Amino acid sequence: MGTVVVFIFAYLVVIYLCKEGREMEFHEANRLTPEGEQKVAFVDIDETICFYSGKRRYDLSEPNYDNIAKINDMFDEGWKIVYWTARGSVSGKDYKQHTLNQLSEWGCKFHELKTGDEKPHFDLVIDDKAKRIEEL
Ligand SMILES: [Mg+2]
């Protein structure tokens, strides 16, 4: 009988600690962007601010100026804008200068560009801070 009580007590302690851990994690996430500090937005490029009507070749990407304006508005509102693309992460080619030229040509306002291995290839993002460009 005593063993069962100890087991139940230990189980309840574990449940309580897990719950506390989740709450602490949530509060920790809030502290990353306290009021008054510049917020940082990582912004994808392909199929976010530019699209492809034919072959998906970076030099053939077509800017979407409505979407670029949404990001430029965030820049003007004080966000730190980091364009973040996996261009070159699979092929190993360096698309940084090419992409910088495109962003400049399209009138994109931003602070930083990360390319290649700085954003590895993936097929899905699961993130509590993610938004699609259509949601902005
Ligand atoms: Mg994309």
- CA 30 to ligand 1 centroid distance, Å: 26
Taking only the tens place, the pLDDT of each residue in 36-84 is 789 999 999 999 999 999 999 999 999 999 999 999 999 999 999 999 9
The hierarchical CATH code for the domain 40-124 is 3.40.50.1000
**Residues in Cβ contact with 18 at an 8 Å cutoff, skipping those fewer than 6 apart:** none
**Average pLDDT for 81-89:** 96
- pLDDT for the residue 29: 39
CB atoms within 10 A of CB 95: 20
Q: For the chain, what are the domain ranges?
A: 40-124
Using CA atoms, how far apart are residues 60 and 65, in angstroms rounded to an integer?
Answer: 15
Residues with C-beta atoms within 5 A of ion ligand 1: 44, 46-47
Three-state DSSP class for residue 80: strand
- CA 54 to ligand 1 centroid distance, Å: 16
- CA 23 to ligand 1 centroid distance, Å: 32
Using CA atoms, how far apart are residues 14 and 50, in angstroms rounded to an integer?
Answer: 48
pTM recorded for the entire structure: 0.73
Decide: residue 61, CB within 10 A, 0-12 exposed, 13-18 middle, 19+ buried.
buried
